[in-house]
A = this chain, B = another copy of it.
Amino acid sequence: MTAKSAPTPRNTPAEPTDKLLHQFVGYNMKRAYMQIQDDMSETLAPLGLRIGTFSALAVVMGSPGISQTQLSQMLNIKRSGVVVVVDELERASVLERAPVEGDRRAYSLVVTPAGKRLWQKAEKAVQAHEAALFSGLNAQEVLTLQDLLGRAARSAGRQRRENSS
């Protein structure tokens, strides 16, 4: 090496590396997810959504009438966490807690007309943003990534359930 630029500690390699970390799938997954998460948040902010509220809206759109407990299972969070998310979406008139006939404890979550319009916008915005985000990958590679991520999650989940039983 010739021109040492920054005042670096003496016996440090010229360029510090995280090579030892990159061998692990978990680390690469974290790095990729963190990048995407930040970008996703910026995409959703103008629509008044966060990742959590966007996800909840997506599930209620796909499963109208779902209960909060069911929603918590779909999102893999606790019921107490769902309350906050639904409160926020209801305050924004995106969805409503409708009474369930036959069970006065539960709510039936339904998306309002305004909420449906918001979803159309949000879905398109995220689709467009992911397309730009993964411009370095071709269509087939994105499909492969989707498949492998899905199978990795299921594989890991199965592993965890077996170990805890």
Residues of B within 8 A of A63 (CB): 12-13, 16-17
How many of chain A's residues have a CB under 8 angstroms from any CB in B? 83
Interface contact A29-B74, CB-CB below 8 Å? no
Interface contact A39-B132, CB-CB below 8 Å? no
| Measured CA separation A153–B30 after assembly (Å) | 9
Closest beta carbon of chain B to A72's beta carbon, Å: 11
Interface contact B148-A144, CB-CB below 8 Å? yes
Q: Is there a chain B Cβ closer than 8 Å to A11's Cβ?
A: yes
Q: How many copies does the complex hold?
A: 2
Residues of B within 8 A of A67 (CB): 8-9, 12
Residues of B within 8 A of A36 (CB): 25-26, 29, 152, 156
Interface of A (DSSP majority class):
helix
Q: Is there a chain B Cβ closer than 8 Å to A135's Cβ?
A: yes
Interface contact B16-A70, CB-CB below 8 Å? yes
Q: Taking each of A30, A33, A38, which has the highest tally of chain B beta carbons within 10 Å of its own beta carbon?
A: A33
Residues of B within 8 A of A157 (CB): 35
| Measured CA separation A10–B103 after assembly (Å) | 10
Interface contact A102-B25, CB-CB below 8 Å? no
Residues of B within 8 A of A112 (CB): none
Interface contact A28-B106, CB-CB below 8 Å? no
Interface contact A10-B108, CB-CB below 8 Å? yes
Closest beta carbon of chain B to A44's beta carbon, Å: 11
Interface contact B134-A59, CB-CB below 8 Å? no
Nearest-CB residue, chain B, relative to A61? B20
Interface contact A136-B149, CB-CB below 8 Å? no
Nearest-CB residue, chain B, relative to A30? B33
Q: Give per-residue flags for A108-135: 1 if the beta carbon is below 8 A from chain B beta carbons, else 0.
A: 1000000000000001001100101111
